[in-house]
Chain A
Amino acid sequence: MQRSNEYGHDEKVQGGCGLFGIINVKRKLVPGSVIIDAISVLHDRGNGLGGGFAAYGIYPEYKDYYAFHVMYENKEAIAPTEAYLAQFFNVTYHEQIPTRVTKAIQAHPLFYRYFVQPKEEAKALLPNKDENDFVVGKVMYINENITDAFVVSSGKNMGAFKGVGYPEEIAEFFKLEGYKACSWTAHNRFPTNTKGWWGGAHPFTLLDWAIVHNGEISSYGINKRFLEMYGYKLTMLTDTEVITYLFDLLVRRFGFDFRTAALVLASPFWKNIDAMPGEERKVLTALRMLYGSALLNGPFAVILSHNRGFVGLSDRIKLRPMVAAQVGDYYYLSSEESAIRKINPSLDRVWFPKAGEPVIIDFEQE
């Protein structure tokens, strides 16, 4: 196993990953400077080997197009990826994602974004003609088959920005101070099981799902095999990828609500299921019997963001921290209360979500 301190440059490696999420349920826009300010309080939870952000509502002029953020580890990967995209999508606009050379980040991959709609004739070839499945298939193909090209995000009106560095450095590199979003998540990485690389930074995404994660998934192997049965390709060399795909499978494809999905991913213990009243016990027993392979074992706290809101969830014995807070229309999730206080010292409500109990925050209906 590769250990983080082989890669780290601190004399002493300390901490664990840091998470932060902010959402305005009335879709009021929050400038990038706010999330940068918050995640920088959690600086010491990472070690400079991964930082990243997911932002929602940032492309209103292309809100009906899938926004593909694509990372190229070298120029040669661009042509085959663009040819592949042109084969299946109408690309209405594309550009290199603006970045700046910074002191901290000198060597980096290339980043492009493409605003695309699936071609009708291509989509028609898919048996169920489901547009999301179509897009997922193409993302999986690029990640698996086009050398040195990775889709960093692929949802509508959202985007992920991530790389190797502290999150403040990644934000500076991607000029995030210039973006405004109705929800943001941020991650400061402290890699423990896989090496730090640009694609391995968080968030992990698929369609409009984005996951930031603190912890490690010791059930990775069984989760991976379960997902592969449903056609997912796991290419990112990290346990966090499985969480993203499990949410996609349970919520988008199976149609579960987040509460039910949480009962699968961080299920109650058998001892507590056995003590439940009749109907509840039957449902919980069925969920565990059917989807036991989707249970996430090991310590974790995650924020799953999407176009309708975000969800916080920790493992069932609370081996990773998560604090929630609210001020008016703003909700916050964080690894530490201090990061929330940094951007809003007076909070209406602060609470510590219980193990395995999801915090579900949705945007209000427009």
Chain B
Amino acid sequence: MSPEEKIYKVLRRIKEKVDISPANSIVNYRAGEEVNVLGTEDEIMILNKLADERIITVVQNFASDFI
């Protein structure tokens, strides 16, 4: 799968979440668990890229459920 296809899959997943969320709400995204064909590292890298391009703003980022 090309990098562009991977990015597209993440974008589609984000759009699915946004479509069923109230406007301007914060959306949870768990890298590695959202898109079947992508691994955690891939998804984290893509989310960083999307944040750099200001498509998303990362409000919080955690490495564990237990803080």
Q: Do A and B come from one complex?
A: no
